[in-house]
Amino acid sequence: MLTTFHIHIQGIVQGVGFRPFVFKLAKINNFNGWVNNSNDGVHIEINATKSEAKSFHNSIIKEPPELAKITQSKLYEIEQIEYTNFEIVRSESNDKTNVLLTPDFGICSTCRSEINKPNNKRYNYAFTTCINCGPRFSIISKLPYDRESTTMDSFEMCESCDNEYNNPQNRRYYSQTNSCPKCSIKLSLLKSDGILVNEGETSLNDIVGFWNEGKIVAIKGVGGFLLTCDATNKDAIE
């Protein structure tokens, strides 16, 4: 007999593709219910038999997303609710926060290969990310971790990126840092007094020119400023 079970997962479980992972797993098993983020982790509800719920829970614990780190999990039966499909529902926020903040992740090999392919829409795009890489901690403004809770909130996705974001079969499904050159994060080069020198990809050529002239360039990234110069130029280093 189908009943309703609730699963609560805690740890590094936000910003690592956990909801899309659960969504796909539920679809494979033909479960109805939902998954969402909350201030205390990830919550899941499914209609299933007791043995099915246990097996589903074990699958989540044994083979979670690569970047996830589960510290605690609970499975328990709740009052019967009949669901008609499985979906990712809107995140919930409450006063009590008990979730590990997800660190920033270096670029993955798949995104790196896209940047180097001339026929790819993200060719030479510096802000290429997916569900497996990119900034997390550095862009969070509040929890739970969703696009509107990060500094990506002001960047509207183009139609192509939006389709990736909403496609369960795409590795950028619910990737909160998703963007491409068409809806790009703006790259600007300014003098120390704030005067604009250049914008866009051509700014990179200017930066190389400044290094060759012995100048210091401060690069503002998601986690702060990096001071850069020509490492072979003794005067610039001093």
| pTM score, whole prediction | 0.71
Phi, psi of 165 (to 5 degrees): -60, -30
Check residue 201 and give its pLDDT.
81
Q: Which domain-ending residue is among 183, 205, 226?
A: 183
Q: Is residue 29 part of a domain?
A: yes
Check residue 187 and give its pLDDT.
85
Cβ contacts of 135-138, under 8 Å, gap ≥ 24: 135/104, 135/105, 135/177, 135/222, 135/223, 136/15, 136/101, 136/102, 136/103, 136/104, 136/105, 137/101, 137/102, 137/103, 137/104, 138/104, 138/221, 138/222, 138/223
Beta bridge partners of 78: 4
Same domain for 211 and 160:
no
Q: Is residue 94 part of a domain?
A: no
Check residue 58 and give its pLDDT.
96
Same domain for 140 and 175:
yes
Check residue 222 and give its pLDDT.
67
Check residue 97 and give its pLDDT.
64
Same domain for 71 and 49:
yes
Same domain for 50 and 20:
yes
- What count of other Cβ atoms lies within 10 Å of the Cβ of residue 34? 20
d(CA 23, CA 86): 7
Q: List the chain pLDDT tens, one digit each, 238 residues.
A: 789 999 999 999 988 889 999 999 999 999 999 999 888 899 999 999 999 999 999 999 999 998 899 999 999 999 999 999 999 987 766 656 667 778 888 999 999 999 999 999 999 998 999 989 999 888 888 877 788 888 888 899 999 999 999 998 899 988 999 999 999 988 899 998 999 999 888 888 999 999 999 999 999 876 678 999 999 999 999 9
DSSP state of 92: -
Same domain for 147 and 84:
no
Q: What is the CATH number of the domain that holds 79?
A: 3.30.70.100
Q: Is residue 122 part of a domain?
A: yes
Check residue 216 and give its pLDDT.
96
In this structure, the strands spanning 86-88 and 32-38 are parallel
Give the count of domains, the chain. 3
Check residue 190 and give its pLDDT.
95
Same domain for 228 and 192:
yes
Q: Is residue 225 part of a domain?
A: yes
Is 84 in contact with 37 (CB distance < 8 Å)? no
- What count of other Cβ atoms lies within 10 Å of the Cβ of residue 56? 23
**175: containing domain:** 109-183
